Amino acid sequence: MWVVAAIASAQAVSLSSVAQSAAQTAPTGHLPYDPSGYRPPSLSLARLGQDPVPARVLAGEFDSRFEAVSGHEIWAPKRQPVWWRVTLNEDVAAVDSPQLTINRPYRREIELWRPGDDVPLRRSIYGPDTDFNHSTRMIVFPLPQGLRKGDSLYLRVLATDVLPSDVLIQPLAKVQREDMLHVGLRSVVLTAMGVVAVLAFGFWAGLRERGYAYLGLTLVLQILTLTADGGEMRVIPWLNQIAPDSRTNIVLNTAAVLASIRFLVFFLGLRTTQPKVAQILDWLSVSLGGLLLVSLFRTWKYSALYGNLNLLMVIALVLYCAAVAVWRRQREAYFLLLAWLPLMSLLVALVGAHHQWWPEYHWLEYAFPVGLAFGGLGLLLGLTSKLQQLRRDRDTANRLATYDSLTGAMTRAAISQSLRQAVESAQRSRRPLSVVFFDIDHFKRINDEHGHRVGDETLRIVSLRTRNRLRAYDLFGRYGGDEVLVVLADTFLRDAVRVAEHLRESVSGSPLSIDGRLLPVSLSLGVAELLPGETPEQLLERADAALYASKSAGRDRVTGHSPDTVREVVT
């Protein structure tokens, strides 16, 4: 498409100079083209309902059979050539380099006979008659000699759709201006969609969230559809051969709808929140998948109608499930409605216009691609917001699963997993590792005499005091009941025993103040250092044996378990 922009820009410069030269040699009484007050010349249209030999038409043999048509629109039944006669109701001067323009040129082949022409000018967006001097917004035929009132132009139109096209005669300067506006807008829209698609695939590659892949695929397929219908594919030779085929349009549009369905199911979590709607969307996906497979080989008369009816059902389901999700206050549903509601309205308008249920509005030509670009960006932001919320929920769940809500210590599962990792790392690097196992002396008596609330508060204060005596990277976990496990990396047994003694003193050194009462509490601790080749279970077993030795020796003490002396009591 950027190649088209460059060609159109170069043509604008070269042809503008021609127009300026012609304006300098214009008759004195002729006013040059004024874009602010320009009025296209009046013309009359007539249609011939058959396709005779061109020579007979040009000879005037069928003039009486042309039927007058009001307005400036021409059309043709699918794949049936139609003749049109364009008659000028006023003079058209050659000074402004007049051009006959026909908009909505997609999938049309047009031949033009000007006054005195024996051989027609042929124009189309794709194929050998492509005119690269202008953008794909319209087919342009030059009228270098100008026209006089009463002159007739003959058009032979072959189309693969039934949408009408406007026929106008405009100065070259106006055609160039519209070319530039068209190329600029299409470039911005397609670039924006491409950037959003690249971002979506980038997030998918980095985060491994398939929702981004569905969104990126949907945007890529829509870009391909827009460039096929809009004519930008003509700059690539092999695409120039397949883009005009009606199967291309059906396959790309169907694939885009399938990708958007997968995205919708993921985005709103329909498998769990609205399973019946998800099941209906699955059936529609199967239906559209069948249409896609058939269209790879051939199309049938009702292919477009069948696909568009499925699309309208998808749109209705999107609106329904989005409304339900909004009622349930799903945050992502608001993003979906804001991003897709305008786009779905445009899609309904386009489908109805294609099947002639209502007129096609000219502004849809640009409103739809702009809606696609903003819809893709809105859904990218919505998906990012959804994943951020999921990650916050996951972090909260992980935190609840990792840390004990009463003491703030790690849970048994978390401290066990951390111990296993620490042991593996210490064994690989041959660095020291020690553990401290302790519990509160006579904790059951505290619960029985003072109640479980005082017991819980005792656990909380003991955990707070002992954790404050540890290094930032030491691991501290509640192993069960009042038992606590401390993992000391890079610590030999003698240093670990010293740490354990500090932990004991932090609790027994001063009584606990609970509900206005002073409650004396003490700890019994067991310490063990990791031996070469030892497993976490064996290490904990030795630390537990040392803890049992502390209790047997009278409690309120530290016992270290070493390979040299099985039990070394430190008071």
SS (HEC) of 317-362: HHHHHHHHHHHCCCHHHHHHHHHHHHHHHHHHHHHHHHCCCCCCCC
Q: 529 and 492 in contact (C-beta within 8 Å)?
A: yes
Q: 152 and 87 in contact (C-beta within 8 Å)?
A: yes
Residue 480 has pLDDT above 70, yes or no: yes
Which pLDDT tens digit goes with each residue over 263-307? 999 888 899 889 999 999 999 999 999 999 999 888 887 888 899
Q: What is the pLDDT of residue 284?
A: 95
Q: What is the pLDDT of residue 564?
A: 60
For residue 409 the two structure tokens come to 């210590």
Residue 26 has pLDDT above 70, yes or no: no
CB under 8 Å to 370, separation ≥6 — which residues? Answer: 185, 189
Q: What is the pLDDT of residue 459?
A: 93
Percentage of the chain beyond pLDDT 70 is: 90
Instruction: With H, G, I as helix, E, B as strand and everything else as coil, classify residue 391.
Output: helix
| Burial state string for 337-376 with b = 16 or more CB within 10 A and e = fewer than 16 | bebbebbbebbbbbbebeeeeeebeeeebebbbbbbbbbb
Task: Give the confidence band of 98 by pLDDT, cuts at 50, 70, 90.
Answer: very high
Scan for tokens 């996951």, then name that residue: 394
Residue 405 or residue 133, greater confidence: 133
* Window from 64-73, 110-119, 265-274 with minimum mean pLDDT: 265-274
Rounded mean pLDDT, 534-547: 94
Residue 18 has pLDDT above 70, yes or no: no
Tell me the C-alpha distance between 377 and 252, whole Å. Answer: 21
Q: Of 219, 187, 269, 230, nearest to 377 (Cα)? A: 219
Average pLDDT, the chain: 87
Percentage of the chain beyond pLDDT 90 is: 57
Scan for tokens 């509640």, then name that residue: 478
Q: What is the pLDDT of residue 401?
A: 67
* Window from 132-141, 308-317, 325-334 with minimum mean pLDDT: 325-334
269 secondary structure, DSSP code: T
Which pLDDT tens digit goes with each residue over 142-192? 999 999 999 999 999 998 777 889 999 999 999 999 999 999 999 999 999
Tell me the C-alpha distance between 47 and 70, whole Å. Answer: 10
Tell me the C-alpha distance between 157 and 235, whole Å. Answer: 23
Q: What is the pLDDT of residue 566?
A: 45
Q: What is the pLDDT of residue 300?
A: 82
* 542-545 contacts at long range (C-beta below 8 A, 24 or more positions apart): 543/435, 543/436, 543/437, 543/485, 544/437
Task: Give the confidence band of 335 by pLDDT, cuts at 50, 70, 90.
Answer: confident
The count of residues in the chain is: 571
CB under 8 Å to 203, separation ≥6 — which residues? Answer: 209, 212, 384
